[in-house]
Chain A
Amino acid sequence: MAREVTGMVERRGMGLWFTHLLMIAGVLVIFFPIWLAFVASTVTQPEIVQPPMPLWPGDRFIENYTAALFSGVNVPVLTMLANSMVMAIGIAVGKIVISLLSAFAIVYFRFPGRNIFFWLIFLTLMLPVEVRIVPTYEVIAGFGMLNSYSGLIFPLIASATATFLFRQFFLTVPDELAEAARVDGARPMRFFWDILLPMSRTNIAALFVILFIYGWNQYLWPLLITTDPSMNTIVMGIKQMFPSGDDVADWPVIMATSILAMVPPVVVVISMQKLFIRGLVDSEK
């Protein structure tokens, strides 16, 4: 996407600096909430409840984060981080695995009921879990899957977005590769494992980033089915840290938890920026 910079339509000098200035202002505004949360996570409770709170970090970083990670409010944040990690990775891996398999079946085989299955799967494309929460909750409760990882994960992998993506990708793989593999003696699963899977590497990685964030950021579903604090995920657990009634919230710990809740997805997005953007623009378009 690199473009030649020079040319009559580029603004120079003052104009360029002005553009930078606007851009920096925009970035600062966008960033401010995160900065404020970080500051709050490094100061003492009295400094916050006596407004205005400082806008520069204090010296309580280690104390506040230790308190959050190992004691938290209802449950140590470390536990919630672990739960979130299991849920996010479970959703990402689970969805990728079942989608790869079903996309492979749909693209490379003709079998009875193929079209029906195809449409059944694609009906699930756009209906978010938020719309069918009560009956889904009842299903999970019926299976005794409340407060369990499987209860957190399964309802959220019942969607066809990833299947659709892999199907699109498989359709672009030249037919001759499968034919060459057949001539080489590869049976279907061998072809899948040796040829198709390695060729899908970048798509799998991009999808992993998107699904990881999707899973990590879930709120409503964990809120419903994890009544036991030790099963809370971090994103929904923050809200649980606010006291009911008029008690004063433990802001430094809550803000430290908020920062901790952002770190994994932000790290994933920033470190895999290229893949992520590609995956995003591909998957949504």
Chain B
Amino acid sequence: MATVDLDNIKKRFGNTEVIKGVSLSVQDGEFIVIVGPSGCGKSTLLRMVAGLETISEGELRINGQRANEREPMDRDIAMVFQNYALYPHMSVAQNMGYGLKIAGLPKPEIAAKVAEAAKLLQLTDLLDRKPKQLSGGQRQRVAMGRAIVRAPSVFLFDEPLSNLDAKLRVQMRLEIRELQSKLGITSLYVTHDQVEAMTMADRMIVMNAGVAEQIGTPLDVYERPETLFAAQFIGSPSMNVIEAEARDGMLHFADITLPAPSGITGPVMLGVRPEHLAPDPEGPIEMQVLLAEPLGANTLLHGRLTSGAGFTASLPGVHRVAPGEGALRLSIEAGNMHLFDAKTGRRIG
């Protein structure tokens, strides 16, 4: 059981700074998801916690103890890799017990711990198999088993589900979360998939270009994105963003005028989530519908505003649109509008 503290952690490769100072305090037993597009530095951050990359600057504390210089094995962590990294020549049982074997535990004890973990993961019948005789989902479980056998203080997951097909991914997502809360082990989980982040995280870090754009609970991030990037990265379909001008307490864009929060003037970015739009014959927003994607529970309507900007609305239920039906009027509640500074992308209201 452990806390993990990142204190202004930076990483440089040569002269390029790829992690530009990330700070985070992870509570004991918390499940943290680090999410962002590829190349944003999320894996590097995780690998620094694991001890697989050196930390260029800043301090990492595990259970309050500085851990920057410790070897991976001395950090009391376990890691699940994207490609599982199972030793191909070892059986499932040997794979899971390897860390304990190195730690010098007696054989019966290793066998007992492996058996216990195998039972937990429903791997008991597969213990004698080699990794190549297993399906993707089974390999994933073995990788998990290898991690939990050692009863570490911290679990690290590096995109563990990205090699699985969509259906299995949903199932394993639940299993991992269930297991983690059962064991109560502090976890850091890296993914590029915002759905995984939303569904699994106690708190998430949205990363972009080496910077933590926002740290918060999934609903925090969804309801009050701190930056334009976080706003667009989280939520599906992604948020509509429109350039607008605030003056005299009103927002102007295209030929549309909406009431603006007080005290804001000048150019802003207006963010509107597609699911917050409602059809309203009196609504201020007019959209030319070009394409409808019926998903069953809801319908996505893609089109253009009169200014020509692309715009998407997600309406509940089935919404039949005849081709060339033309204009659709929409309204939005004032509380569901997000305003960002046009230059910095930071939230202003």
For B, the interface residue count at a CB cutoff of 8 angstroms equals 24
CB distance from B154 to the nearest CB of A (A): 11
Chain B 89-105 per-residue mask, 1 if CB under 8 angstroms from chain A, else 0: 10000000011001100
A138 within 8 A of B: no
Q: Which residue of B lies closest to A180 (CB)?
A: B85
CB distance from A8 to the nearest CB of B (A): 38
- Interface residues in A177-212 (C-beta closer than 8 Å to B): 177, 179-186, 190, 194-195, 198-199, 201
CB distance from A204 to the nearest CB of B (A): 13
Task: Chain B residues near A184: list those with CB within 8 A.
Answer: 73, 98-99, 102, 146, 150
Majority secondary structure, B binding face = loop
Task: Chain A residues near B82: list those with CB within 8 A.
Answer: 176
Cβ–Cβ contact A177 & B72, under 8 A: no
Task: Chain B residues near A194: list those with CB within 8 A.
Answer: 87, 98
Cβ–Cβ contact A190 & B85, under 8 A: no
Task: Chain B residues near A199: list those with CB within 8 A.
Answer: 87-89
For chain A, give the interface size range.
Answer: 10 to 19
**Whole-angstrom distance between the alpha carbons of A177 and B82 in the complex?**
11
CB distance from A15 to the nearest CB of B (A): 43
Partner of A185, one of B81, B87, B99: B99
Q: Which residue of B lies closest to A194 (CB)?
A: B98
Chain A 140-179 per-residue mask, 1 if CB under 8 angstroms from chain B, else 0: 0000000000000000000000000000000000101101
Residues in B lying within 8 Å of A, measured CB to CB: 50-52, 71-73, 77-79, 81-89, 98-99, 102-103, 146, 150
The 6 A-B pairs at the shortest CB distance, nearest first, are namely A185-B73, A176-B85, A184-B99, A180-B85, A198-B89, A185-B102
Residues in A lying within 8 Å of B, measured CB to CB: 174, 176-177, 179-186, 190, 194-195, 198-199, 201
In the assembled complex, 22 residue pairs joining A and B whose CB atoms fall closer than 8 Å, in A order, are A176-B83, A176-B84, A180-B79, A180-B81, A180-B86, A181-B87, A181-B98, A182-B52, A183-B72, A184-B73, A184-B98, A184-B99, A184-B102, A184-B146, A184-B150, A185-B99, A185-B102, A185-B103, A186-B102, A195-B87, A199-B87, A199-B89
